[in-house]
Structure 1
């Protein structure tokens, strides 16, 4: 078997240009030059769940090459980038480590060498003879038809295989016996989240920013994580792996790019690519006890629990997003705001795939806008006020949700109030939950815009009050929309609707629910009474 499909020499990576959207093809060195000049708009082969692994790969690889070359700025030419990337694989000057296809006893791109090169007894990791398409190779999100149909890419191109390899090897978790996950997640059923600052600029500006931040923080990662400043293993796929041993975490470079599965691409006689794989006896990197705390530049760490963020099926809802913004999680390098990031159009981009035991909870992505005042708070590390305002709003939405739950439950139960401590029947819970979901989704979409409005306001107390009043109005609309699904017969209908509205409005006027609203309504009533007093 000869070396084929070199990422260093052949234009295998499709990208659309910023100007005009024309599709061009780059080698890996050529792509880095284009990114440095901010010429790339997007990548046709890139699927949504692959966005963060691809960005992280490009940033970590470029930062590793630049550090090894003793530079803090990107190279200007393709030959310079090629030499720098080859310098990362000194034991393989033929470039095998950058080829999609190579003899099995040599490294190939994101594929560890097989000792002795013997793969005759390998089965595919999907328990087939071969894997025929890149989406079959990709991580669970596509392999089990949860979010995307599997094995659809019959006309795949070479960069489809490349993206699938990066996705599998750098964000997959445990999948049963012999199928271990990556080190950069909390447990085999965790997630590899990607949280960082972006602006309205293109891929290139974000890539350049994150490369610069990684180089500036390298020594910090080394010191905190106990990794190697010089001579560490950076490209984990270079090391032979028979599946029986693990690499010690302490031997790694701080920018290491890992692999978690024993995979090899192969070429049939008619030049069709397929993949084979086999299990391992242990995970590639021995880091289970670290709970995903690896110095990953995009992974928030739960400060109290001392573990990496794991995304649930709820994704980056307003509650988690507020926690990421306001202090429950330590901010990864990419999420730190710097003066050089500019003042306008900043957004926190949060991405990741929710996983579980043998299943996926889907791909999740959210953009959290950062106002100029919030930006200043982050730079000055004075976020206590922001945290308190965000916590108040999360708690207020939860209180309004509870009020709405009690009111709609009263409606569907023919006007009866549920006894305290007594659980509602399952069918009733399901009906009520559908309306609560509408409420939460609506509040979720406006949460940060309205939080920023309060932060920027010269009268924040009044801005908060107006938000509470508008939220109460929106909740009442949802309650009234539920009338059509409530009792419909004569007197029973009127009794149920009246009882539900009475409970809703009564709860809002209780100082045990939302005191600010209760005080407003109390004052409103007092003002009306004064206005009607005889002169």
Structure 2
């Protein structure tokens, strides 16, 4: 029932209207770049769906030893996808399979179906977002659901879910159960076709590097490992070892089976597990995922906090030495001289809650892209790369100086200059507003400002001027709209201004030196 290989139940939006397609037809539409959107796909599900399409497409081509561009017709794609499931193609791509001993889409076969218990009657009941008291996103509200809603929820659950209590383990491609699978990607277009096409090409072309990076001898030899984890039974409490897996394996993390009643209404049944499906805890999420940054010192995959991809974390990922950059960021043939974008996404998990869907898009001029993705990553003579790293580091430090000076000035204003408590948090709302301003401008100044050539002094001067103006604007709003809690308001403001101007002049000298030179 609802066989992805033959049944057209995935809705797509094209320029000429809506249609519903099977998975082979979907790949043909992607190759032709005719897909505008996937109606019904939630914002929090887009990352999982994108990575699923990329991994499945690449695996299908790899296992067929496909040479050349991906095919543009649905029939060839149907053959390629069926080739991933040679012994069970009749059920392995179906949402609902009556015989539980046969694999279904992202649902392992089982001989103990009688141990499965009701889990959800609506797709959002198995979906990723965790709600506290049903406040931020109501649970079990998708009553009028369709098969594609179950598809998206199932893909998201099985490839993105984290630890959710006893019997509910998370996926292997994250650093611990309360972490999340991260996407740090590069794209030439925001359209689905070019994005998935580039991702498939990246997976094919960078495969050797996946085996070479780190200790990836833990995987099966090329094209010999299990590609789709739902094809094998999961009745015993015996995890899959990584040596049995393909590096691009599509994983599952929950025992789940979808059923349908006589009227076709789908429901989910589940069974807890005592161990994770993949025995990969020792790798801390570092499993060769080409979209995940890895800390070189401890080999752990990146965990993103509730702050998301702010400019400080983005700087660490792209320009510091804190992380080994994902393979997805590296140039593919023909990209070096073209502008592109960096896309970062993650659904941050907390203790019993979701801490936000975080995305960031950074425009990447071709010259900057070349500096970020040199031909030889160990080439320390790459002048542009070293200059960019140094300037970015200075900009982060200067932002910290501006934040600290503004904070001290606001504390002096509100508490008076006599005995200010610089550990007070009373200025946090103002410094948080400053951070938001800096977040919006950091990469515009760093990347767009150097589109035609790297100029360290000009970049730092522009950044320091922006910092000074942003700090002055925020302080001015406070001085104008918030009375200091003291009868000596004029004295408090004068002291606050002295702290602010003195600190800015001391730490952001280029902003003032250039102005004085021009005068």
TM superposition score normalised by structure 1: 0.89
5 Å-filtered alignment, 1:329-368, equals: 329-341=323-335, 343-368=337-362
Alignment partner of 1:273 is 2:266: yes
Alpha-carbon distance, 1:407 to partner: 0.6
Aligned to 2:22: 27
Distance 1:502 1:197, change over 3 A: same
Aligned to 2:224: 231
Alpha-carbon distance, 1:240 to partner: 0.6
Alpha-carbon distance, 1:262 to partner: 0.6
Aligned to 1:16: 13
Aligned to 1:157: 146
Alpha-carbon distance, 1:322 to partner: 1.1
The 8 Å contact of residues 119 and 125 in structure 2, kept in 1 or not, is answered as no
Quote the Cα distance in structure 1 between the aligned partners of 2:339 and 2:208.
30
Distance 1:455 1:141, change over 3 A: farther
Distance 1:489 1:79, change over 3 A: closer
Distance 1:195 1:154, change over 3 A: same
Structure 1 window deviating more from structure 2 (397-406 vs 464-473): it is 464-473
- Runs of 4+ in structure 1 deviating by more than 6 angstroms, as ranges, are none
Aligned to 2:176: 187
The 8 Å contact of residues 143 and 149 in structure 1, kept in 2 or not, is answered as no
Counterpart of 2:51 (choices 56, 67, 71) is 56
Alignment partner of 1:470 is 2:470: no
Structure 1 window deviating more from structure 2 (355-364 vs 62-71): it is 355-364
Aligned to 1:369, the other structure's residue is in SS state strand
The 8 Å contact of residues 243 and 279 in structure 1, kept in 2 or not, is answered as no
Aligned to 1:533: none
Aligned to 1:38: 33
Distance 1:484 1:115, change over 3 A: farther
Counterpart of 1:409 (choices 408, 411, 423) is 411
Structure 1 window deviating more from structure 2 (371-380 vs 245-254): it is 371-380
Task: Give 5+ residue unaligned stretches, structure 1.
Answer: 124-128, 529-535
Q: RMSD of the alignment, in Å?
A: 2.2
Aligned to 2:126: 137
The 8 Å contact of residues 33 and 193 in structure 2, kept in 1 or not, is answered as yes
Distance 1:14 1:362, change over 3 A: same
Quote the Cα distance in structure 1 between the aligned partners of 2:159 and 2:131.
15
Quote the Cα distance in structure 2 between the aligned partners of 1:115 and 1:199.
47
Q: Deviations over 1:395-438 (max 9, x none)?
A: 1111100001101111111344536xx632xxxx1x41111111
Distance 1:208 1:468, change over 3 A: same
Counterpart of 1:7 (choices 4, 7, 31) is 4
Quote the Cα distance in structure 1 between the aligned partners of 2:132 and 2:477.
40
Aligned to 2:41, the other structure's residue is in SS state coil
Task: Give 5+ residue unaligned stretches, structure 2.
Answer: 376-381
Alpha-carbon distance, 1:460 to partner: 4.3
Distance 1:146 1:63, change over 3 A: farther
Aligned to 2:394: 392
Rg comparison, structure with higher value: 1
Aligned to 2:155: 166
Aligned to 1:257: 250
Aligned to 2:471, the other structure's residue is in SS state helix
Quote the Cα distance in structure 2 between the aligned partners of 1:334 and 1:147.
33
Alignment partner of 1:423 is 2:423: yes
Quote the Cα distance in structure 2 between the aligned partners of 1:343 and 1:97.
42
The 8 Å contact of residues 445 and 462 in structure 2, kept in 1 or not, is answered as no
Counterpart of 2:483 (choices 487, 491, 511) is 487
Alpha-carbon distance, 1:153 to partner: 1.1
Distance 1:370 1:75, change over 3 A: same
Quote the Cα distance in structure 1 between the aligned partners of 2:485 and 2:131.
48
Alpha-carbon distance, 1:328 to partner: 2.3
Quote the Cα distance in structure 2 between the aligned partners of 1:81 and 1:144.
44
Structure 1 window deviating more from structure 2 (173-182 vs 216-225): it is 216-225
Aligned to 1:90: 86
